[in-house]
Chains A and B, each alone.
Chain A
Amino acid sequence: MNFPILSSLILLPTIGALFILFTKSSSGKYQSSKYLALFISLANFLLSLYLWYVFDKNSIDFQFVENREWLSGFINYKVGIDGISILFVILTTFITPICIISVNATIKNRLKDFLIAILIMETFMIGVFCSLDLVVFYLFFEAGLIPMFLIIGIWGGERRVYSAFKFFLYTLLGSVLMLVAIISIYWITGTTDVEKLYELGIKAEYQNLLWLAFFSSFAVKTPMWPVHTWLPDAHVEAPTVGSVLLAAILLKMAGYGFIRFSIGLFPIASENFTILVYILSLIAIIYTSLVALMQEDMKKLIAYSSVAHMGFVTLGIFTMTQQGIEGSIFQMISHGLVSAALFLSVGVVYERHHTRLINKYGGLVSIMPRYAIVFMVFTLGALGLPGTTGFIGEFLILMGAFEKNILVAMIASLGVILGAAYMLWLFKRVVFGEINNQELKTMKDLKTFEIITLSALVIPILFFGFYPEPLMNSIEASVENTLNMYNFDLINSLASKD
C-alpha cells in the first residue's frame, strides 16, 4: 500500500485544528491562528488538486483505496474515491479556504474556536465523500452535526438557538433510521463494505424498506420538500461562513448519498420509488421557487432557491440517464460554487449595512460598481444563464428528464423560469434603482480580501460554464459504471421474476 493520501486529506484539517488549539488565545492578536488555518486548508486544497492530477479518469474502479481493520475485524475503515467523489472532495477543499479568508469580516468573538470548528467540519465533510464503508460513512455524516450545531448556535443571529436545535434534531431524526438500515444490511449480507455490496447485491425483498430508511436521512439533508423547513432557518441564523459551508457542501452530502447508496445499493427500490422522488422534486422546484419570490430577507430567498436547485438535483439523479446523473453532479458542484458566492455577497452588504432585508437596499450599482458586477455573475449563475455552470447542470438534467417523462420535464422547466424571476428580481431590487436609503451612501466597495474570495468563485463559475470538459471527463466513467450496474441489477431482478 502506498502513501495513505486520502487519510491524510481527511486528517490534515484536524491536525491543523489541534495546532490552532495551542496558538495564543484569541484576545486582540489572533491573526496567527487565522493564517495557520488558511495555510492548512490551502495545503489540503493543493493536496486534493494533486489527487485529481494523479487520478485515473478512465478507470471505473475506486482509487487510492485504503482498507484497515477497525471495529474488531468485522467493520473496516475503508476509504477510496471514484470520479464522482473526487469532485466533491475538491469542492470541499476549495470552499474551506474561502470560508477561512472571509471569517474576519463576520466573526467578532472567539475566532480561534470558530477556525477549529471549520477545520474539524472539513475533516468530516471530506470523510463523507471518501468513505467506502457504510458505518464509516454514517460516522462522518453524523459527526458533522456537532461543529455545525456550534457554528450556528455560537456565532449565529437572533434566533440562533431555535435554528440550531431544529437543524440538529431534524437531521438526527432522519439519520437514526439510516443507522437501523445500515445495521440491517450488515446482518443481511454480512458486510458494510460498499464495493462488496455492489458485487453481492441486496435481495429485492429487503430493498424497499432499506431504501426508505436511507431516503429519510438524505431527504432531510438534501433537503426535499416537505422536510426542508430547517434549511431557511439555519441559513438565516447562521453566520455567513456557516451558510456557505451549509449550502456549498453539507447539502451535497445527501445528493452524493443518493447516487452512491440509494441507486448503487437498492436499484430495484430506486426504480419503484422514482415517481415519489419526481413528485417531491417537482413540488420542491415549483413551490419553493414561489416561496422564494415572496421573501423579504435575502438569505432566506437564497435558502429557498437552494431547495429548488436541490429539487433539480434529485430529479436528475432519478431520471437514471447518463445526462440526468451527470447533470445532477454538475448542478451540485455548480450550486456549491454559486450558493457559496451568493451567501458571501449577502455577507458583504450585511456587514456594511447590518440588515438582510431586501427593501432596505437599492441602487448599489452607483456606489459599489465592482460588487454589482460580481453579484451579477452569481445571479446569472444561479438562474442558469448559458456560459455559467448553472446552465449546464440544469440543461443536462432537463435533457435526462425529457428522455424519461415529458410531463415531468415540462413542469421542471417552469422552475427554470421561476428561478430566473426571483433571482433577477432580487438583483433588480438590491443593485438597480434609485438610492432611497441615505445611509447606503456611506457604503464602501469591495475590500481586497473580498475581491480575492469572490473572484476565486467567479473564475470557476465562468470557466466551467464555457468549458465543462474537465469536470465531465472526471465523472463520465463512474456515472456510466453506476448506471450499468443499476440496469444490470434491474434486468436480473426482472428475469428472476419471470
Chain B
Amino acid sequence: MENFQYILPEIFISVSIMLFLLVGVFKKNSASLIYNLSNISLIILLALIINLSSLDTIYLFNNSYLIDNLSNYMKIILVGSGIFVMLTGSKYIQVINLNKIEYPILILSSILGMMIMISSNDLIVFYMGLELQSLALYVLASFNRDNLLSTESGLKYFVLSALSSGLLLYGCSLTYGFSESTNFDQILINSTEFNYGTTFGIVFILVGLAFKISAVPFHMWAPDVYQGSPTSVTLFFAILPKIAALSVFIKFLYTPFANMNDQWQTIIVFISIASMMFGAVAAIGQKNLKRLIAYSSISHMGYALAGLATVSNQGIQSSITYISIYLVMNLAFFSCLFMLKRNDKYYENIEDLSGLSKKHPILSFSLLIVLFSLAGIPPLAGFFAKFYVFLAVIEQSMYFLAIVGLLATVVAAFYYLRIIKIIYFDPEKEEYETSHNLGLKITLAISTIFILAYFIYPSGITEIVSKITMI
C-alpha cells in the first residue's frame, strides 16, 4: 500500500474530478464555481508533483508505472501550462456561453490521461492514458455544439484519432506478439535480435504517435480542429497533448525500442524534415490566425522531433527544452488572441490585426516579440530553443537535417513577418476592448517577459533538463 504515496497526484486529481462532477450535478449554476475549483485543484496538483520530484526513479505496480526525472519534468510543465490555459480562457468561455460544468472536468480528465501516458511503462497502461485524454479531447473539440465548425472539428478529430489509435493498437499487439511482453523494459530485453514483427510494430506505433503530435504526414486534422474548436480549447490542443505525446515519443524510442534506433531513426528524420518544411510552406497562404498557428505548430513539432532523431541525451534534452519554450510562446500568442475582443465577439483573422500597433501598443509589442520568437530570431527565447536542437543535431553530424531545418526557419520567417507587417505597417482598421481579466494579463506579461529576458539567464531550463538522461 505504501506505493500509493507516489501516485498521490493522480489519485488527487481523480478524486477531484469525481467530486466536481457530484457538485455539478447537485448544485445548480455551479459552472463558475467548478471552474475556479478546478484551477485550484490544478495548483495543488502542481505542488504535489513538485513535492515528489526530488525522489529518484521509482517503479510501481509490477514495473508498469514509472516516476523519474523525465516524467516529473513533463508533468510539471503539463500541469503548469494547464493552469495558465485555464486562467487565460476563463473569460472567453463565459463570453461565448460555454461555461458549463463539463468543460473544466473534461480538461482535468484529459490532464489525468496525459499524466498516466507520461508515467506509463507498459503498453496497456499507456493505452489507457491515451484513450482517456483522447476521449476528453473529442468532446472538448466539439464543445461549441451549436457551431458547425466546432462539431465538424470534433467529428473529424474523433474519426481520424480513432483510426490512428487503431494503428497504434495494432503496433502494440505486434510488439507484444514478437517480444512477449507489454512492459517497456522487458520489451527492450527481449528485442535484442532483429525481427520484422517488431519493426512493423515500431512503424505502426510511430504513426499513431505522429498523429497525436500532428507531425507530417499525419497532420491533416490539425488545421481544421484548431480553427473549429473554441479558442480556449485550441490553446489546450496546441500545448498539452503535444507535451504528453512528445514525452511518450521519448519514452518509446529510448526505452522499448532503444536497441533498434537504426530502424526508427530514418523515420523520425523524415517526419521531422517533412513537418518543418510543410508547416512552413503551408502556413504562408493562411488567413485565419488559429489555422496559421496550427501549421506553425506542425513545423515546431518538426524541430522538436529533430532533437529526438539524434539518439543522444543532448538531443532528448534539446527537444524537451524546445517544447518548454514552445509552450510559453503559444501561451503568449493565444493570450494576445483572447485580447482581440469587441462587443462580446472575438476576432481571429489576420486582417483583423491591421494597424493594431497604433491603438494597442503594448498588445502589438507582445505579439511582435512572440512572432519574432516563433520565427527563431535572436536574442529571443525561440532562438535558443532552435539553437539547442541544432547543437544536438550537428553533434551527430546530421548536417542535412540541420540545413533543411534552418532553411525552413527562413521560409517560416516570411509568414511571421507578414503578421508583423499587418500589425505595424498597415493602416489602422479595428479597435478592440482594452479591459481584460487579470489572469489573461498576468499570463501575457509573464510569458512575454520570459521570451524577452530568456537570454539573460539561458542556463535555467537547461540545468533542470540536463538531469533527464535516457541513454
User: A139 contacts which of B379, B420, B466 (Cβ < 8 Å)?
Assistant: B379
Residues of B near A113 (CB, < 8 A) are 361
Residues of A near B420 (CB, < 8 A) are 149, 153
A448 adjacent to chain B (CB < 8 Å): no
Q: Are B421 and A177 in contact (CB-based, < 8 A)?
A: no
User: B417 contacts which of A71, A143, A149 (Cβ < 8 Å)?
Assistant: A149
Q: Are B458 and A165 in contact (CB-based, < 8 A)?
A: no
User: Cα distance A186–B394 when bound, in Å?
Assistant: 10
Given contacts A154-B425, A180-B403, contact A72 B458 (CB under 8 A): yes
Residues of B near A22 (CB, < 8 A) are none
Residues of A near B466 (CB, < 8 A) are 72
User: Cα distance A113–B368 when bound, in Å?
Assistant: 13
Q: Are B459 and A165 in contact (CB-based, < 8 A)?
A: no
Given contacts A70-B458, A180-B394, A187-B394, contact A153 B410 (CB under 8 A): no
Q: Are A179 and B413 in contact (CB-based, < 8 A)?
A: no
Q: Are B406 and A180 in contact (CB-based, < 8 A)?
A: yes
Q: Are A164 and B413 in contact (CB-based, < 8 A)?
A: no
Q: Which chain B residues (377-412) contact chain A, with CB distance < 8 Å?
A: 377-379, 383, 387, 390-391, 394-395, 399, 402-403, 406-407, 409-410
User: Cα distance A165–B425 when bound, in Å?
Assistant: 12
B462 adjacent to chain A (CB < 8 Å): yes
Q: Are A72 and B463 in contact (CB-based, < 8 A)?
A: yes
Q: Which chain B residues (345-382) contact chain A, with CB distance < 8 Å?
A: 361, 372, 377-379
Q: Are A72 and B459 in contact (CB-based, < 8 A)?
A: yes
CB distance from A433 to the nearest CB of B (A): 38
Q: Decide if the interface of chain B is mainly helix, strand, loop or mixed.
A: helix
CB distance from B360 to the nearest CB of A (A): 13
Interface size class of A (residues with CB under 8 A): 20 to 34
Given contacts A138-B378, A145-B377, A161-B425, contact A176 B410 (CB under 8 A): yes
CB distance from A199 to the nearest CB of B (A): 23
Q: Are B459 and A71 in contact (CB-based, < 8 A)?
A: yes
A421 adjacent to chain B (CB < 8 Å): no
User: A177 contacts which of B379, B403, B417 (Cβ < 8 Å)?
Assistant: B403
- In the complex, what residue of chain B is closest to A165 when comparing beta carbons? B417
Number of interface residues of B (CB under 8 A): 31
A406 adjacent to chain B (CB < 8 Å): no
Residues of A near B387 (CB, < 8 A) are 135, 179, 183
A142 adjacent to chain B (CB < 8 Å): yes
A226 adjacent to chain B (CB < 8 Å): no
User: A146 contacts which of B372, B399, B458, B459 (Cβ < 8 Å)?
Assistant: B372
Residues of A near B413 (CB, < 8 A) are 168-169, 172
Residues of A near B403 (CB, < 8 A) are 177, 180
Q: Are B391 and A183 in contact (CB-based, < 8 A)?
A: yes
Residues of B near A186 (CB, < 8 A) are 391
A150 adjacent to chain B (CB < 8 Å): yes
Residue in A113, A145, A176 with the greatest tally of chain B CB atoms within 10 Å: A176
B455 adjacent to chain A (CB < 8 Å): yes
Residues of B near A272 (CB, < 8 A) are none
User: Cα distance A58–B391 when bound, in Å?
Assistant: 38
- In the complex, what residue of chain B is closest to A71 when comparing beta carbons? B458
- Besides the contacts A149-B420, A176-B409, A176-B410, what 16 more A-B pairs have beta carbons closer than 8 Å? A70-B458, A72-B462, A73-B459, A139-B379, A139-B383, A143-B377, A143-B379, A149-B417, A153-B421, A165-B414, A165-B421, A172-B409, A183-B387, A184-B399, A187-B394, A187-B395
A residues lining the B interface (CB < 8 Å): 69-73, 113, 135, 138-139, 142-143, 145-146, 149-150, 153-154, 160-161, 164-165, 168-169, 172-173, 176-177, 179-180, 183-184, 186-187
